[in-house]
Structure 1
Amino acid sequence: MDALLAEELLIIAGGLRVAEPSTGRAVVPGCCAGLEDWRDWAQALTGGSPWLGHDPGPEIQAVGEDLRVWQDGGPDRHHGRQVGLHIDLPRHALPQLLMGVQRDPVGFLDALAGWADRADLGRQGIALVRAIDYSFTITALWDLPEG
């Protein structure tokens, strides 16, 4: 545990997956994307596209009132043509979706704190919970722009 706590920042490969339950389609994070960057999705609310990894290179594009989440970089990668796997989600839905995403790691922190207490880890357990909370910006307050 000492080695883990000595790390400046913890990372977990992966990221957020966007799924369309009605069709079964999904856009998954590219390689080198990390779960620690999950809050960066809020950039899409102000016209940005967060880092979603590369190879295949997912990207977010504003299309009217929707956010088009491309699996492979969007239309510019295909000479301006609108081709390739993408999922559209209403921009106004993103803040609520991100708040939903936050619930899972908050629950994980609660479970981790309980485990650390049962394992009698004392200060190390508290430090572990704090390090994970810090690295993944789980409980920090945020003011999401309106979608």
Structure 2
Amino acid sequence: MPDAQLLGAGNVGLIDVVITMQAVIEVPMFHSGSAPPWPVEPLAPGSWLVLDADCTDERTGLFVAALASQIDVAPPGGRDEVVDALLAEELLIAVGGLQVGDTEIGTNVVPGCCSGLEDWRDWTQALAGGSPWLGHDPGPEVEVLGEVLRVWQDGGPNRHGGRWAGCHVDIPRRALPELLLRVQRDLVGFLDALAGWAARSGLGQRGSALVKAVDQNFAITTTPDLPVG
């Protein structure tokens, strides 16, 4: 795995411990006859799988199975065929994104429908006063309130004719770079977990290629541009 070039912004201690930001993917529904060809954690479809260095082999295998659920795999669809099909794809995607939470009040805002983990770096748009596209139905959105980024679970029009509904999490604007740094560290740690899973699964060179493909498609170890001001 290439050396990680982590985000270079943010001061340690800037974030209150109550605010969290995590990379997540949505657990897919595996239909009859399409069970993954390796052990996976039996998490409920529609729940969120957090990606970090602590992922077990079963959770890491669930991530790879979720990637494979987005593509067509020719029969017989065994382990090697699934990984080969993933490596042949021009673009890997995963339904998900970044989940933000306030542990003090117990509020979480999760990615909306059709949001993709591959776009997680778009959160830097909030530093320039905009909002990344976070999915729809209900349509999470970032409202900029001076030096506070208010992340709404539903940023679309509501029945009262206004906007901003449901729960929200407030993030100090200056804390966002450090939060994104922590997300990147989690994802770099997950790449290590993926490499370990691939080695223990006997994937050989396929495993190394898969780690590289995940790194590239989800922009994990590259350095992003951080807007200033």
The corresponding residue for 1:16 is 98
**Counterparts in 2 of 1:1-147, with a 5 A limit?**
1-73=83-155, 77=158, 78-80=160-162, 83-146=165-228
Higher relative contact order (CA 8 A, sep 6+): 2
Partner Cα separation in structure 1 for residue 194 and residue 165 of structure 2: 43
Do 2:155 and 2:163's aligned partners in 1 also have CA atoms closer than 8 Å? Answer: no
Residue 59 of structure 1 and its aligned partner are, at CA, apart by 0.4
The TM-score normalised by the length of structure 2 is 0.58
Do 2:148 and 2:170's aligned partners in 1 also have CA atoms closer than 8 Å? Answer: yes
Identity %: 68
Residue 120 of structure 1 and its aligned partner are, at CA, apart by 4.5
Deviations 1:28-66 (A, max 9, x none): 111111111111111100011111000000101110111
5+ residue gaps, structure 2: 1-82
Deviations 1:57-105 (A, max 9, x none): 010111011101111116x655346653222110000000000011111
Do 2:121 and 2:224's aligned partners in 1 also have CA atoms closer than 8 Å? Answer: no
5+ residue gaps, structure 1: none
User: Aligned pair in 2 of structure 1 residues 5, 81: CA closer, same or farther (>3 Å)?
Assistant: closer
Do 2:153 and 2:167's aligned partners in 1 also have CA atoms closer than 8 Å? Answer: yes
The TM-score normalised by the length of structure 1 is 0.88
Q: Which amino acid aligns with 1:109?
A: L
SS across alignment from 1:12 = coil
Please provide the CA RMSD for this pair. 2.0
User: Aligned pair in 2 of structure 1 residues 89, 5: CA closer, same or farther (>3 Å)?
Assistant: same
Q: Which amino acid aligns with 1:126?
A: S
Partner Cα separation in structure 2 for residue 118 and residue 8 of structure 1: 26
Partner Cα separation in structure 2 for residue 143 and residue 82 of structure 1: 29
More helix by share: 1
